[in-house]
Structure 1
């Protein structure tokens, strides 16, 4: 086998291992957010329905001032080898009212069938990268039944 064929076979085997070993996107998950600004994205998750929910608890928009404590989120559906599909935008305000206050966004415009979804901080506080978002608890749920 020539040197170039050996390199090609080794590279193919290595890329196959990376693909097989890649972590699967989980459908429901919990996390937190530290120091996000406009344009930052969540991790991806799988959704096989037409519904996805994002909840934030105990939010703070640093440098936003008391009258601009809010964040707008855009939900995206990842499309392989094409631009991602922009879904609806939701503005969260209630989670800024104390450490037990939740904001809830429900997206019912998710395309039918299997999807890989993520959300983006579209506008934190007044927007324009002025502010940093902190969220004590983030929950993602893909089941409308609960």
Structure 2
């Protein structure tokens, strides 16, 4: 039979471990920034966890190599990563403003994100005229998961 002291120590260790887990738990806000180099049709962003119903993706300073001047654009879809099933495809957005120069941004907002905790990502479905012709370069990518920002 265990002593009361041993049981108390075990309880303290368990409580300490639980508090460390709370300190290191990821926050609900999953904002992040990055860049894109040499993407072609079908490339996917990293995944992030979101607990809201809103997501925003912004690109700054874009270039579509091998696309003509009239085809400097990219069409993105945001997706919900669903384990062991096809991913849920949300609306598509076409970004063209960021191709005008280094100080121009393109902005896509998704308000059709399912409620609850989701793992999201975006995919470049069509760069330039599409058909894997072109390579996408973006100097700055920003993902914002909070409409309040």
TM-score between both structures, scaled by the size of structure 2: 0.80
For the aligned residues, what is the CA RMSD? Answer: 1.3
Once the 2 structures are TM-superposed, how far is the Cα of residue 43 of structure 1 from its aligned partner? Answer: 0.1
- List, as ranges, runs of 4+ consecutive aligned residues in structure 1 with deviation greater than 6 Å: none
Which residue, out of 111, 115, 118, partners 2:114? 111
What does residue 69 of structure 1 align with?
Answer: 72
Q: 1:82 deviation in Å? A: 1.0
How many residues are aligned here? 123
Task: Tell me which residue corresponds to 1:130.
Answer: 133
The farther-off stretch of 73-82 and 52-61 is 73-82
Q: Which residue of 1 aligns with 2:86?
A: 83
Larger Rg: 2
Aligned partner of 2:16 in structure 1 is none
Where structure 2 has 5 or more consecutive residues not aligned to the other structure, the ranges are 1-25
Q: 2:103 aligns with which of 100, 103, 112?
A: 100
Of residues 30, 35, 41, the one that matches 2:33 is 30
